[in-house]
């Protein structure tokens, strides 16, 4: 669709919007959130669907969603267990039929008020419009430092452009949805995939809101896991750097052994030398274990991929 068409299409309220919302233990938020969301969608278009993906909630989230009025146009996908937000979003994208999809959190942290700007930017011709957090003030300092470090590494060792502060709050054109659906990989790092696929994109600044109810499920361990997935799925540098390290160490070893040979021939052997031996053994042992560990990270991921297991298992579907 050309740019002029997009504007007209928006104004005539004909655009088919899919809103994709992953929910996990959000019983306190769903009623209010979906009510607000559908009010907004109704005001901008005549055709929409809300795809709620229940990521194995253990509270009354599913029951509350099913009980919502039919004219909210909610389609529910209930996973058989918790598969994680990345997989929930993947399922949403695979099941949506809109011309555009909007990905949102159910905890009100992504402001609905900013969606008209997203739609306008789409009409201007951008295929991907994403929210860029103005600040991370409501996160702990450790988490902030960790994030900063992660983005620094990612931008240094991968070729993809990964803006810090951009998350899953996005509007995607059908072209982008189809591109994302063509990825077969199971260990998913959505932020990396958005960067990898390209397309015309535009950032929109927004203030992160406080979570209305419930609490964030992203503990340190989960974030660390996501960070390792991100790095290992988009860069092979950690894997290849060891060849270089090995080369440098060999060069030093060669120089040292020549020096040692000459020294021994000229002056004979003096026995003391325990510290240097122990340092060399420990240093090399450490480096070898580290490199094997990193090798293991990649092999573990290959292992997950070759098993070809389904990405998720759906327990219930409602509204389709
Ligand atoms: N979520 C999910 N599966 C999970 C964790 C979270 O579907 O395993 C959903 C959650 O219900 C919310 C969104 O993903 O709609 C963002 O989660 P959260 O607010 O916990 O993350 P944060 O905002 O702290 O990054
Ligand atoms: Mg949140």
CATH classification at residue 204: 3.90.550.10
Domain assignment of residue 286, yes or no: yes
Are 296 and 314 within one domain?
A: no
**Interior/surface letters 208-234, b for 16+ CB within 10 angstroms, e for the rest:** beeeeebeeeeeeeeeeebbbbbbbbb
> Is a pLDDT exceeding 70 seen at residue 2?
no
Instruction: Tell me if 64 sits within 8 A of 33, measured CB to CB.
Output: no
Confidence of residue 92 (pLDDT cuts 50, 70, 90): very high
Per-residue pLDDT, 148? 86
Counted domains in the chain: 2
Q: Based on the fold, state whether residues 126 and 259 are members of the same structural domain.
A: no
In a domain, 292, yes or no: yes
Residue with the larger pLDDT of the pair 237 and 138: 237
How far does residue 29's CA lie from ligand 2's centre (Å)? 11
How close is the Cα of 110 to the center of ligand 2, in Å? 8
User: Looking at residue 65, what is its pLDDT?
Assistant: 93
Same domain flag for 185 and 270 = no
Do both 246 and 204 map to the same domain? Answer: no
To the nearest whole number, what is the mean pLDDT of the chain? 89
Mean pLDDT throughout 84-107?
94
Q: Tell how far the Cα of 264 is from the centroid of ligand 1, in angstroms.
A: 65
What the block records as the tokens of 182 is 């063509």
Ligand 2 centre to CA of 78 (Å) is 20
Domain co-membership, 291 together with 314: no
Does residue 232 belong to any structural domain of this protein?
Answer: no
pLDDT of residue 261: 86
Q: Of all protein residues, whose CA lies closest to atom 20 belonging to ligand 1?
A: 216
Task: Look at residue 23 and tell me if it is in a domain.
Answer: yes
Number of the ligand 1 atom closest to the C-alpha atom of 109: 23
Summarize pLDDT for 234-264 with one digit per residue, the tens: 888 888 888 888 888 888 888 888 888 888 8
Q: What would the DSSP string read from start to end of 229-281?
A: HHHHHH--HHHHHHHHHHHHHHHHHHHHHHHHHHHHHHH------HHHHHHHH
Mean pLDDT along residues 197-206: 92
Range of the structural domain that residue 285 is part of: 237-306
* Same domain, yes or no: 205 and 85: yes
Confidence of residue 103 (pLDDT cuts 50, 70, 90): very high
Residue 283 Cα to ligand 1 middle (Å): 42
Is the domain of 274 the same as that of 165?
no
Q: What is the pLDDT of residue 1?
A: 61
In the predicted structure, residue 74 carries a pLDDT above the cut 90: yes
Does residue 177 sit in the same domain as residue 254? no
Q: What is the mean pLDDT of residues 268-281?
A: 78
pLDDT band at 118 (very low <50, low <70, confident <90, very high): very high
Mean pLDDT, to the nearest integer, of 138-152?
83
- Ligand 1-lining residues (CB < 6 angstroms): 22-24, 26, 55, 82, 84-85, 88, 105-107, 109, 211, 216-218
**112 and 200 both lie in a single domain:** yes
Q: What is the pLDDT of residue 217?
A: 72
CA distance 185 to 202: 26
Which residue CA neighbors atom 2 of ligand 1 most closely? Answer: 85
- Mark whether 171 and 264 lie in a shared domain: no
**158-190 residue pLDDT tens:** 888 888 888 899 999 999 999 999 998 888 889
Which ligand 1 atom sits closest to the C-alpha of 21? 15
- Residue 59 within any structural domain of the chain: yes
Quote the tokens at residue 280. 């060399």
Look at phi and psi of residue 146 and say left if phi exceeds 0, alpha if psi is from -120 to 50, else beta.
alpha
Pocket test for ligand 1, best of 85, 111, 168 (most atoms within 8 A of CB): 85
Give the DSSP H or E segment for 171. Answer: strand 166-173
Whether residue 299 lies inside any domain: the answer is yes
**Do 110 and 257 belong to one domain?**
no
Averaged over 65-85, what is the pLDDT? 93
């Amino acid at each position: 669709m050309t740019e002029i068409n997009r504007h007209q299409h928006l104004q005539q309220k004909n655009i088919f919007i899919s809103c994709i919302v992953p929910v996990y233990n959000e019983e306190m938020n769903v009623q209010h959130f979906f009510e607000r969301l559908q009010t907004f969608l109704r005001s901008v278009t005549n055709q929409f669907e809300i795809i709620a993906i229940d990521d194995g909630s253990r509270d009354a989230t599913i029951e509350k969603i099913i009980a919502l009025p039919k004219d909210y146009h909610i389609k529910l996908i209930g996973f058989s267990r918790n598969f994680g937000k990345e997989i929930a979003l993947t399922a949403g994208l695979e099941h949506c039929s809109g011309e555009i999809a909007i990905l949102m959190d159910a905890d009100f942290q992504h402001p609905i008020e900013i969606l008209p700007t997203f739609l306008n930017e789409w009409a201007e011709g951008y295929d991907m419009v994403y929210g860029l957090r103005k600040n991370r003030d409501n996160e702990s300092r450790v988490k902030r430092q960790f994030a900063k470090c992660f983005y620094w590494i990612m931008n240094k060792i991968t070729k993809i452009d990964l803006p810090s502060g951009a998350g899953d709050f996005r509007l995607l054109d059908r072209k982008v949805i189809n591109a994302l659906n063509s990825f077969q990989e199971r260990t998913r790092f959505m932020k990396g995939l958005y960067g990898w696929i390209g397309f015309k994109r535009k950032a929109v600044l927004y203030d992160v809101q406080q979570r209305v109810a419930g609490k964030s499920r992203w503990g340190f361990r989960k974030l660390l896991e996501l960070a390792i997935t991100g790095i290992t799925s988009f860069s092979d540098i950690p894997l290849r750097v060891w060849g270089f390290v090995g080369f440098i160490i060999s060069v030093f070893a060669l120089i040292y052994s020549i020096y040692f040979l000459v020294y021994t021939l000229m002056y004979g052997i003096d026995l003391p030398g325990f510290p240097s031996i122990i340092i060399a053994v420990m240093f090399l042992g450490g480096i070898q274990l580290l490199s094997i560990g990193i090798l293991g990270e990649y092999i573990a991921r290959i292992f997950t991929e070759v098993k070809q297991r389904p990405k998720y298992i759906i327990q219930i579907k409602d509204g389709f």
